Amino acid sequence: MWIPNLVPLEDWPPRPWVPLPDPRRPDFPYHSGLTLKIRPHTPPHPFGLTGYTKGPERRYAAFEEVAKVSQSEWCLRNPLAETPPHPNATETQTLEIVQGIASKDGRGAQIVRCYLGEDKNRSYVAKIYDPLYYSYADREFGSPVDVTYMADSHYSREAAAFEDLKAAGVDGQFTPKYYGSWTFDMGLPGTSEVRPVRLVLLEWLNGVDLWSIMERDGTNNGIHTMPPEKRLEIFAKAAEAETNVTFHRVLHRDFSPRNVMIVDAATSEGVNSHTPRVVLIDFNNSTCIKRPNFRDRQFYNNAPYPLPVSPRYNWWGGCPNEFLHWVPDPHRSDDAVFNGWLEQRWPDPSTEYFLPPFKLPRHRATAKLIEYASPVPDTEPVFVQVYSRRYSLPSVGWSSDGGNSPSELGEAKSSRSRDDSGESDPPRSGNGSPRSGSEPDGTSPSQGTLGGVDK
């Protein structure tokens, strides 16, 4: 195998980079009992690798530059982006952390339950983007991380998504409610300097994300405790939330069980009999289509459809890979049965969803692949289920003048690609997976939490 001539062979594979000692870096502070004086903040325009063009923000620093200094020194030398003062910047609030939800040194954004002011009867969730407690070494590749750029880009994108959904009049319908963007100062031992830290304040939801349910069931007896019919209905509600968010011009870009939360439904014995409220969480990798610095706006120039695109269109062709451990059999493993369920669950015509013509290769290749069956309980442990997709692709004609080539048709199934316009391949998502990514004209599933844990 050819290896790029970047590292001497005797040093291959390269050893992970080890950050410099950092004696001034305080112990992790975001524990129950911590109080912070927070002020309203104007977030920067969204930026980063989810589809935005380069703006006034600085560029992501080179590895060599980051590696020269400690993490605390890097945070002081490379502060967060400055923005115009918020109109209410002088009005401070006291935030008290009462519980960690997803909070530990090195995880990225810290998610905590908190009180605001003197009201102890109402909880909120704060998502805190403190670069000093992001991982300074990439957890997968071991390379240095420009943590201030990373934290600020996460903050900018999450705040933009919630602000755009609020402006569209759907705040709290498909996501937690948004209570604004804030900033506070943190000091460093041995110096008079302070660091600004950003956060978004969100609705506290008494619920659990789907990934945590699967982990719980996998740890106990290994079998799903929730009835298969309910798991299928929860996926349906999640798919509806995702397409509604996209209709309001926000691409989530990480539609997966860890970012789908069911509210007021989880108990130690399982899930209540009613269908719970389902919301999407974690928008730090999202894209806002209406923002002027969105790179792929040309793909979205057409007027949006009159209604949210039907999940039947979005997911036709088989269960999305990210939900294979959630969706029950035979819908998980038999594409024809999954298509049959989509057809029954979202009939056409509909007063709630719009079904565009099936034009994509995967639509044409599986248009007649339809069977009907009821979901069945799992007989194998959650994370040991053997997945084998069953389908048969009918022949599809193609031509060189606008049709699709056989190779494109063959890839349609494996890539699970989706395109909203039905006319051309969409821009790829940040992780390169169009099946999990976004597409033009509002037909996308999406790629980052509240009341739950973003993994």
Classify 255 in phi/psi space as left (phi over 0), alpha (psi -120 to 50) or beta: beta
User: Residue 336 has what pLDDT?
Assistant: 97
Is 286 within the bounds of a domain? no
Say if residue 187 is in the same domain as residue 314. no
User: Residue 138 has what pLDDT?
Assistant: 92
The DSSP letter of residue 310 is P
Asked whether residue 404 carries a pLDDT value surpassing 60, the answer given is: no
Q: Are 335 and 391 in contact (CB under 8 A)?
A: yes
User: DSSP strand E in 167-324: where?
Assistant: 178-187, 194-203, 207-209, 250-251, 260-263, 266-267, 270-271, 277-280, 287-288
Given pLDDT bands bounded at 50, 70 and 90, which one contains residue 311? very high
In angstroms, the CA 451 to CA 273 distance is 21
Phi, psi of 183 (to 5 degrees): -140, 155
* End position of a domain, from candidates 155, 171, 203: 203
In angstroms, the CA 331 to CA 318 distance is 8
In angstroms, the CA 309 to CA 358 distance is 12
Q: Are 403 and 396 in contact (CB under 8 A)?
A: no
In angstroms, the CA 217 to CA 223 distance is 6
Average pLDDT value for residue range 89-99: 96
Average pLDDT over the chain reads 84
| Higher local confidence (pLDDT), 396 or 214 | 214
Nearest CA to 311 out of 355, 361, 280 is that of 355
* End position of a domain, from candidates 390, 416, 434: 390
How many CB atoms neighbour CB 397 within 10 A? 7
Say if residue 169 is in the same domain as residue 248. no
Percent of residues in the chain assigned helix, strand, coil, to nearest 5: 25, 20, 55
Given pLDDT bands bounded at 50, 70 and 90, which one contains residue 344? very high
Say if residue 70 is in the same domain as residue 132. yes
Stated length of the chain: 455
Is 9 within the bounds of a domain? no
Asked whether residue 84 carries a pLDDT value surpassing 60, the answer given is: yes
Phi, psi of 441 (to 5 degrees): 60, 20
Say if residue 215 is in the same domain as residue 353. yes
* End position of a domain, from candidates 172, 203, 234: 203
Say if residue 156 is in the same domain as residue 218. no
Domain containing 341: what range? 207-280+305-390
Average pLDDT value for residue range 377-390: 77
The DSSP letter of residue 261 is E
Dig out the tokens for 317 from the structure: 């062709």
Asked whether residue 279 carries a pLDDT value surpassing 90, the answer given is: yes
Which tens digit of pLDDT belongs to each residue from 60-69? 999 999 999 9
Say if residue 382 is in the same domain as residue 250. yes
Say if residue 263 is in the same domain as residue 339. yes
Is 14 within the bounds of a domain? no
Average pLDDT value for residue range 305-325: 95
Start-to-end Cα distance in the chain:
34
What is the separation of C-alpha 364 from the centre of its chain, rounded to a whole number of angstroms? Answer: 29
Phi, psi of 440 (to 5 degrees): -70, 165
Is 7 within the bounds of a domain? no
In angstroms, the CA 433 to CA 254 distance is 10
Give the count of domains, the chain: 2
Is 437 within the bounds of a domain? no
In angstroms, the CA 365 to CA 317 distance is 9
Say if residue 139 is in the same domain as residue 224. no
Sheet of 207-209: strands edge to edge?
207-209, 260-263, 277-280
Which tens digit of pLDDT belongs to each residue from 200-254? 999 999 999 999 999 999 988 889 999 999 999 999 999 999 999 999 999 999 9
Pick the range with the lowest mean pLDDT from 25-29, 76-80, 298-302: 298-302
Pick the range with the lowest mean pLDDT from 28-42, 276-290, 359-373, 405-419: 405-419
In angstroms, the CA 130 to CA 200 distance is 12
Say if residue 235 is in the same domain as residue 323. yes
Dig out the tokens for 293 from the structure: 């610095």
User: Residue 272 has what pLDDT?
Assistant: 47
Asked whether residue 399 carries a pLDDT value surpassing 70, the answer given is: no
Say if residue 260 is in the same domain as residue 350. yes
In 147-177, which positions are buried (b, 16+ CB within 10 angstroms) versus exposed (e)?
Answer: bbbbbbbbbbbbbbbbbbbbeeebbeebbbb
User: Residue 396 has what pLDDT?
Assistant: 41
Say if residue 148 is in the same domain as residue 274. no
Is 431 within the bounds of a domain? no
Is 18 within the bounds of a domain? no
Given pLDDT bands bounded at 50, 70 and 90, which one contains residue 188? confident
Asked whether residue 298 carries a pLDDT value surpassing 90, the answer given is: no
Q: Please state whether the peptide bond connecting residue 330 to the residue before it is cis, i.e. omega within 30 degrees of 0.
A: yes
Say if residue 78 is in the same domain as residue 137. yes
Give residue 88's identity as a one-letter amino acid code.
N
Q: What is the pTM of this model?
A: 0.82
Give residue 175's identity as a one-letter amino acid code.
T
User: Residue 328 has what pLDDT?
Assistant: 96
Q: Are 432 and 381 in contact (CB under 8 A)?
A: no
Which tens digit of pLDDT belongs to each residue from 264-273? 754 433 444 5
Asked whether residue 376 carries a pLDDT value surpassing 70, the answer given is: yes
Given pLDDT bands bounded at 50, 70 and 90, which one contains residue 304? confident
In angstroms, the CA 217 to CA 356 distance is 38
User: Residue 345 has what pLDDT?
Assistant: 98
Is 402 within the bounds of a domain? no
CATH number for position 57: 3.30.200.20
Asked whether residue 434 carries a pLDDT value surpassing 60, the answer given is: no
Which tens digit of pLDDT belongs to each residue from 151-187? 999 999 999 999 999 999 999 999 999 999 999 999 9
The DSSP letter of residue 76 is H
